[in-house]
Amino acid sequence: MSAPLHENPFAVLTAIVAPAVLTNACSVLCLGIGTRIARVVDRTRALTEAMPKFRQGSPQYGSRVRQLERLQRRAQFLVKALRLLYAALGGLAASALISVIGAASAYFGNQLVFRAIAVIALAIGVFAVTALVAGCVYMVHETRLAVHNLTEEAQEALTDYSAFE
C-alpha cells in the first residue's frame, strides 16, 4: 500500500508531471499550428495572384478554385484546433496548480478539502485532455486536405510537364 501523501513528498511531483508534460506538448502543437496557418495564408495569396492567368472554365482555373476551397477549410480546421489546444493548455496548467493546492491541503490534514480539490483537478484534467485529443483530430483533417492539395498540384505539374515533351 502506498504511503499517505503527507509522508511521500514525491507524490506531489507525480501529480504535477503529467499535466506539465501535456502542457509542453500543447505548447509545441500551438506553435506548429501557427506555422501551418501562415503557410495557408501564403498559399492562398499565391493562388489568388495566379488566378487571373487562367481562363475561367479551364482545368487549371478549376483546380485553383478547388484548392482555394480546401485552403479555406484547412484554415477553419486550424483555427478550431488552435482554440481547443489553447483551452487544453489552460486546463492543464490549472489542473497542475489545483493539484499543488490539493497536495498542500492533504499535507495539512484537511482531507475534505483535499478530496474536493482532487475531483476538481481531475475534471479539469479530463476536459483538457479531451480538448487536446479533439484539437489533434482537427489537425488530422487539416493534414489530409493539405496532402490532397499537394497531390492535385503534383498531378497537374506532371500533366503540364508531359505536354511539353
pLDDT one-digit tens code per residue, 94-105: 988 888 888 788
Helix locations, 59-110, DSSP H: 59-107
pLDDT at 15 over 80: no
User: Is residue 6 a contact partner of residue 102, using CB atoms and an 8 Å limit?
Assistant: no
pLDDT value of position 145: 95
* Domain boundaries, given as residue ranges, for the chain: 7-164
pLDDT at 13 over 90: no
The rounded distance, in Å, linking the Cα atoms of 78 and 100 is: 33
User: Is residue 78 a contact partner of residue 141, using CB atoms and an 8 Å limit?
Assistant: no
**Long-range CB contacts (within 8 A, 24+) of 142-146:** 142/36, 142/74, 142/77, 142/78, 142/81, 145/70, 145/73, 145/74, 145/77, 146/74
pLDDT value of position 23: 87
The rounded distance, in Å, linking the Cα atoms of 41 and 35 is: 10
Q: Which residues of 1-30 are buried (b: 16+ CB within 10 A; e: fewer)?
A: eeeebeeeeebbeebbeebeebbebbeebb
pLDDT value of position 1: 42
Confidence label for 22 from pLDDT (cuts 50, 70 and 90) = confident
**Higher model confidence: residue 161 or residue 29?**
29
Q: Among 4-18, 64-78, 136-150, which is the least confidently predicted range?
A: 4-18
- Expressed in angstroms, the distance from the first to the final Cα of the chain is 76
pLDDT value of position 113: 86
Q: For residue range 41-54, list pLDDT tens digits in order.
A: 999 999 999 889 99
Q: For residue range 112-126, list pLDDT tens digits in order.
A: 888 899 899 889 999
